[in-house]
Amino acid sequence: MPPAGVNGVFTYGSSPVDWCEPNYAYSGYIAEFFNTVSSIPICITGLLHIINYKTFYRKWDSRVRVLGFLALAVGLGSVWFHLTLSIAGQLADELLILWMSSFGQACYFPIAVLPRDSVLTRCCFVGVALVSTLFSHVYPYMNHFALVAVSIPQYFGVTMAVFNRAQAPPPLLLKLFYSVTCTWAVALTFWIIDQALCATTLSWNFPHFHALWHVISSLGICQSLNLSLFLDLEASNRLEDISVELRRFPRFLGYFSYQYLLIR
């Protein structure tokens, strides 16, 4: 491994993290070809989110646009990391995920579960993000486990907001919740397979489960944003004045299409 320092962290292969896909197997310039290419759908998700919610963030909520730009940045960070396998690329990838998750929780953690407008709540979100950021520089190999742990409170908070209510949840809310749950379950399964069963997947001549994680994660990101936005609209009583419809683009891809809420 290259020595620590400015030059060292930007050096190809300086990251202690390496995925199952063989390095430089398809290109002499790209460390992990399929892991790099499969990061592009995350960028596309961010761009489509910015475009499709343009009217919404102009009229009601500019935070939606920030999350779109963060998703785009996450995709670019992932491309950089898998292109180079450098420490700088790894930190860019994982810290952008961390701050996108933290920003999303600070803005859209269900009000019915936790009053996010309080100073204590905001300090908690910022504190977790800062501690995780510092931790990532000390033990970079553990970052991806920490990222999963940081997302757990958001999922349980959303679960409570969906089901802990006097009346039955709206059908669209249930559809969004179950889509998010199934998508991230599949994505995490692919991530675990790549980590724990690398020798087996190599024997299958298919060491690309981390690439599949990227593709499914791009779907999970847009679905999670939709679910959080719907819960926020419901908590702020805006659903009484607007209509919300789930749209897919392109429609012929079905489940694998980009999903967004058409709000009128």
Task: Quick: pLDDT tens for 125-171.
Answer: 777 777 767 776 666 666 666 777 777 878 888 898 899 888 899 99
- The label of the residue with tokens 């749209």 reads 247
User: Measured in whole angstroms, how far is the alpha carbon of residue 226 from the centre of its chain?
Assistant: 13
Q: Measured between alpha carbons, how far apart are the two ends of the chain, in Å?
A: 54
192 close to 210: Cβ distance less than 8 angstroms: no
The pTM assigned to this predicted structure is: 0.88
**How far is it, in rounded angstroms, from Cα 153 to Cα 167?**
24
Q: What is the pLDDT of residue 120?
A: 67
Q: What is the pLDDT of residue 227?
A: 93
Question: Which residues of the chain have a pLDDT value below 50?
Answer: 1-6
Q: What is the pLDDT of residue 141?
A: 63
Q: What is the pLDDT of residue 211?
A: 98
Q: What is the pLDDT of residue 216?
A: 97
Q: What is the pLDDT of residue 155?
A: 86
Task: Quick: pLDDT tens for 38-66.
Answer: 999 999 999 999 998 887 877 777 888 89
Q: What is the pLDDT of residue 105?
A: 82
Q: What is the pLDDT of residue 3?
A: 37
Q: What is the pLDDT of residue 2?
A: 37
259 close to 222: Cβ distance less than 8 angstroms: yes
